[in-house]
Structure 1
Amino acid sequence: MRVPVEVSVFLLSLLAPGVLYAMNNIPALQEPLPILGMGMVVLGLVLLLLLLMVQNKTKVDPLFYVFAEFSFTCMVGLTNALEQDGFISGFMGFYIKMGEPHLSNSYAVMMSYWEGVVHHALFFTIIHRMFRGKSYRSLGLLWAGSSIAQQIVLIPGVVIGKHGSNIRPAFLRNVPFFVVPFWAAFLLFRRSRVMPIETADKVAAEQKKSLLSRPVDLLLSLLLLGAAAFSVFRGFVVLDCPMDFCFSYIYQYEPYLKDPVGFPRIMMLVYLFYALPLLTVFIYGLNTPGCSWMLDWTIFFAGAVAQTQWCHIGASLHSRTPFTYRVPSDKLWPVIALNVLLAAVPTLLALRCHTSPAFFLKSVPMGQTNGKKKEN
């Protein structure tokens, strides 16, 4: 009996801690350039093993190699998170010292947990569906949004933050992890969407309803407006807005926003310049019938916001964050509630779009469905 591909990929990813442990105990591999070189060699060997793993398959989706290779690095991330939090030791010391020192920061630790758990699970689910001929497009977009958001906060955050003066050659390994998710997202968006089958009568009936006649959409529109306002506000806060309420917020509610590591500032600017326009067009999509792009972009955006909010909330509470930058104990629940709500809104929107998509589908002649033409 042949072992399922996803099981083989999982077993291959379990080699990552062993590789790290070996490198941590070989002094010759603990210098900046050898670390980068060994990283490239290891990833190359993993790719070779993946090619051998599927050599008997007649047709392999190129994205398989992306998901399988990244699953290996997810275990590296999980190993880092567990070591930084004191659960294990002897794996990452050399890499933190001579490779990427910023990975010991609380934001990077939370990012590593997300990689090691959420991304890891997504990869195995996607690979499972891929080799059984099932669609994985939505799961792929969820990962792409999460991964792109991770990189556009991580890389600039390292460069402009306090770790910017201590960048080593191993930091270059982030370049493919920045580029590949964009390429994967491009491929996924270009692929045909599996459209739900709805009767034309139902589509027409849903699209005739005003926003006031759709209480769920009305509530989501209000929540999106609130998320947009909160994104603008925190963007102004990290840009050193001199107004009293901005000053009060950053010192009394979220002092983590002024942590010199740079990640929170970059994250708020990403929200201001990228999330805000998307929130605006989602409000438009909830008001305008036939915006079928909502079915894809809401999933992509939900992944991005979930990842960044997880890292932000966790880092603002983590013991590795200096006490002065953590959320004050008397403001803990309001701050957590606001940030959890901000993370939940895109997820709720994506669920709404996919559980009842009739409003967003392109209209078709009455009496037809999307899957069956009317017979004369």
Structure 2
Amino acid sequence: MRPPVEVCVFVVSLLAPGVLYTMNNVPALQQPLPILGMGMVVLGFILLLLLFTVRNKANVDPLFYVFAEFSFTCMVGLTNALEQDGFLSGFMGFYLKMGEPHLSSAYAVMMSYWEGVVHFVLFLTIIHRMFGGKSYRSLGLLWTGSSIAHQIVLIPGVVIGKYGSNIRPAFWRNVPFFLLPFWAASLLFSRPRQMPIITADKISVEQKKSLLARPVDLLLSLLLLAAMAFSVFRGFVVLDCPLDTCFTYIYQFEPYLKDPVGFPRVMMLVYLFYALPLLTLFIYGLNTPGCSWMLDWTIFFAGAMAQTQWCHIGASLHSRTPYTYRVPADKWLPVISLNVMLAAVPVLLALRCHANPSYFMKPVPRGQTNSKKKKN
């Protein structure tokens, strides 16, 4: 009896530490171009193993290969995080010196933990559901939001930050990892959404309620407005706004925003130019019945904000961040509370949308139901 596919993927992923240890102890592989070439060879070999794993499966979803390959890189990331925090040694020294030096930064360590735990569990769960004939669309959207947010902060942050003068060929292996989540997101968004069966009468009743008659939605709208204000404020802070309030905040509350690694600055600009418009649309969706797109985009956005805020909060407190850029001990409560709120609000909004989606469904003729068959 063959083991489940997710078990095979788990076992293949565990090869990552062994590959890293071998490369760390073979001098011929510890040069910039050989590192990039060996990385491509290893990923190609992993793909062949995956093809062998599902050779008897019919109609394998192409996204399986994306999720399975990324599972392997998750273990690479977790190995890096554990070594940087002193739990392991002898795995990443060569790669940090001649491959991607930025992976030793506090932001990259927190990013690696997120990949090695959250993304890895997501991938195994998605693959289990995929081959069990169950829907995984929402979990996939959660991952694409998280992964895309990770890449659009990481790549520009490396280029404009202090590591920009030391970019090695191995850095360009991030290009496919940047493009694949966008491709996966386009596939997932194009697939039909699995909707609960709700009568038209119930939908009509929910959509006739004003915002004041929906206290949860009212509270979420206010929290979204607060998140918007905080995003605008920190965007101004990293753009060197001369106001005394901005000066006081960056020096006395969140000095990590001026860390020369570049990641916090890019993240605040991403919030200002990308998260802010989405937050505005979500407030519109909470006030306008029939915005079915809320059911997908809130999941995507929740994944993005959870990932970026985890990295930001963790890096601002991590020992690898120079002491002068860490959040002062006497300011932990307000700073961490505001950052946790910024991560929690999108998650709460996504949970609200999926717990009771009637308000966001398209109106249907009375007496019918609003549902779609699951299609993957």
Q: Do the two structures share a fold, i.e. TM-score over 0.5? A: yes
Superposed, which structure 2 residues align to 1:290-301 within 5 Å? 290-301=290-301
Which residue in the other structure is 1:144 paired with? 144
RMSD: 0.7
Superposed, which structure 2 residues align to 1:32-71 within 5 Å? 32-71=32-71
Q: Distance between the aligned counterparts of 2:181 and 2:215, measured in 1?
A: 36
Q: For residue 58 of structure 1, report the CA deviation from its aligned partner.
A: 1.1
Which residue in the other structure is 1:128 paired with? 128
Superposed, which structure 2 residues align to 1:85-104 within 5 Å? 85-104=85-104
Which residue in the other structure is 1:22 paired with? 22
Which residue in the other structure is 1:353 paired with? 353
Which residue in the other structure is 1:242 paired with? 242
Q: For residue 50 of structure 1, report the CA deviation from its aligned partner.
A: 0.4
Which residue identity is paired with 1:53?
A: T
Which residue identity is paired with 2:38?
A: M
Q: Distance between the aligned counterparts of 1:110 and 1:313, measured in 2?
A: 9
Which residue identity is paired with 1:339?
A: N
Unaligned runs of 5+ in 2: none
What is the count of residue pairs matched by the alignment? Answer: 372
CA contact (8 A) 2:309 2:339 kept: yes
Which residue in the other structure is 1:158 paired with? 158
Q: Distance between the aligned counterparts of 2:281 and 2:33, measured in 1?
A: 45
Which residue identity is paired with 1:151?
A: Q
Which residue identity is paired with 1:294?
A: M
Which residue in the other structure is 1:214 paired with? 214
Q: Distance between the aligned counterparts of 1:222 and 1:92, measured in 2?
A: 45
Superposed, which structure 2 residues align to 1:224-303 within 5 Å? 224-303=224-303
Which residue in the other structure is 1:322 paired with? 322
Q: 1:335 to 1:270 in 2, by over 3 A?
A: same
Q: 1:226 to 1:371 in 2, by over 3 A?
A: closer
CA contact (8 A) 2:257 2:264 kept: yes
Q: For residue 217 of structure 1, report the CA deviation from its aligned partner.
A: 0.1
Superposed, which structure 2 residues align to 1:194-205 within 5 Å? 194-205=194-205
Cα-to-partner distance string for 1:305-362 (whole Å, 9 max, x where unaligned): 0000000000000000000000001101111111001100000000000000000000
Equivalent position SS for 2:369: coil
CA contact (8 A) 2:197 2:371 kept: yes
Q: Distance between the aligned counterparts of 1:113 and 1:137, measured in 2?
A: 24
Q: Distance between the aligned counterparts of 1:160 and 1:15, measured in 2?
A: 33
Q: Distance between the aligned counterparts of 1:242 and 1:311, measured in 2?
A: 27
Which residue in the other structure is 1:118 paired with? 118
Which residue in the other structure is 1:80 paired with? 80
Q: For residue 365 of structure 1, report the CA deviation from its aligned partner.
A: 1.1
Regions of 4+ moved over 2 Å: none
Q: For residue 138 of structure 1, report the CA deviation from its aligned partner.
A: 0.2
CA contact (8 A) 2:194 2:371 kept: no
Equivalent position SS for 1:327: coil
Q: For residue 113 of structure 1, report the CA deviation from its aligned partner.
A: 0.2
Q: Distance between the aligned counterparts of 1:30 and 1:49, measured in 2?
A: 25
Cα-to-partner distance string for 1:172-231 (whole Å, 9 max, x where unaligned): 000000000000000000001001111111100000000000000000000000000100
Instruction: State TM-score, norm by structure 1.
Output: 0.98
CA contact (8 A) 2:157 2:261 kept: yes
Equivalent position SS for 1:69: helix
Which residue in the other structure is 1:186 paired with? 186
Q: Distance between the aligned counterparts of 2:223 and 2:163, measured in 1?
A: 36
Cα-to-partner distance string for 1:85-110 (whole Å, 9 max, x where unaligned): 00000000000000000000000000
Q: Distance between the aligned counterparts of 2:370 and 2:145, measured in 1?
A: 28
Q: Distance between the aligned counterparts of 1:246 and 1:13, measured in 2?
A: 45
Q: For residue 371 of structure 1, report the CA deviation from its aligned partner.
A: 4.2
Q: Distance between the aligned counterparts of 2:119 and 2:196, measured in 1?
A: 26
Superposed, which structure 2 residues align to 1:333-344 within 5 Å? 333-344=333-344
Which residue identity is paired with 2:14?
A: L
Q: For residue 369 of structure 1, report the CA deviation from its aligned partner.
A: 1.1
Q: Distance between the aligned counterparts of 2:197 and 2:272, measured in 1?
A: 37
Which residue identity is paired with 1:309?
A: Q
Cα-to-partner distance string for 1:44-88 (whole Å, 9 max, x where unaligned): 000011011101001100000000000000000000000000000
Which residue identity is paired with 2:225?
A: L
Which residue identity is paired with 2:315?
A: A
Which residue in the other structure is 2:368 paired with? 368
Q: Distance between the aligned counterparts of 2:356 and 2:255, measured in 1?
A: 40
Which residue identity is paired with 1:140?
A: G
